[in-house]
């Protein structure tokens, strides 16, 4: 079994378990049984169950960086890409929100969002990227909490409407 596959099996198994119960009620023994691996294999890849979650969220943040390189040329298009990208991760994101782990999502997306905003060079002080990243991450987690009821295109318009008057775009 390749390491990538092993990590995928572990992640999939953990989210299947999280879909049914809180993380505090999931044991490594239960997880490895579901994933079809040994405890030693789990611990060769992860320190604990939370690292599995954090690695999945880091993958989402990296995906955001890879797919939506922010330039002032197409800010709207890049923003729409991010909303569409999050739909690819709908199930794990909804599970984490339902299990009270929205703060982990927020932390994972925050720094990536700050970096994207800084790339725009549209801010007039060093705190503005953090201000807008907080707002953007809040909007994203609210969308997840609301079970992605709006389309990515609708979210883009809501997001754009929130920016009007604060940033010249």
Rounded to an integer, what distance in angstroms lies between the CA atom of residue 74 and that of residue 30? 46
* 41, 82, 142, 148, 163 from 153: Cα distances, Å: 42, 11, 16, 12, 16
Cβ(75)–Cβ(168) below 8 Å: no
**80 and 152 Cβ atoms separated by less than 8 Å:** yes
How many whole angstroms separate alpha carbon 148 and alpha carbon 146? 6
Domain 1-46 has CATH 1.10.10.60: yes
CA distance 59 to 100: 20
Task: Determine the Cα–Cα distance for residues 73 and 71; give it in Å rounded to an integer.
Answer: 5
Q: What is the pLDDT of residue 68?
A: 62
Q: In this predicted model, what pLDDT tens digit does every residue of 120-158 receive, in sequence order?
A: 776 778 888 888 888 888 898 899 999 999 999 999 999
Q: Which of 38, 3, 30 is nearest to 14 (CA)?
A: 30
Task: Give CA–CA dist 7/96, Å, rounded.
Answer: 18
Confidence of residue 93 (pLDDT cuts 50, 70, 90): very high
What would the pLDDT profile of 99-121 be if each residue is shown by its tens digit? 999 999 988 888 887 877 777 77
Whether residue 160 is predicted with pLDDT greater than 70 in this model: the reply is yes
């Amino acid at each position: 079994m390749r390491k990538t596959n092993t990590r995928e099996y572990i992640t999939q198994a953990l989210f299947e378990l999280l879909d049914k119960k809180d993380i505090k009620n999931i044991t490594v023994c239960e997880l490895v049984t579901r994933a079809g691996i040994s405890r030693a294999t789990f611990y060769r890849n992860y320190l604990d169950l939370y690292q599995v979650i954090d690695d999945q969220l880091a993958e989402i943040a990296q995906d955001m960086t890879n797919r939506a390189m922010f330039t002032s040329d197409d800010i709207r298009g890049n923003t729409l890409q991010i909303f569409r990208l999050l739909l690819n991760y709908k199930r794990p994101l909804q599970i984490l929100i339902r299990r009270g782990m929205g703060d982990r999502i927020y932390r994972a997306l925050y720094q990536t969002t700050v970096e994207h905003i800084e790339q725009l060079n549209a801010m007039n002080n060093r705190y503005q990227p953090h201000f807008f990243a907080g707002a953007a991450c809040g909007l994203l987690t609210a969308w997840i909490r609301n079970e992605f009821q709006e389309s990515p295109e609708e979210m883009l318009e809501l997001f754009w409407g929130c920016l009007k008057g604060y940033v010249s775009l």
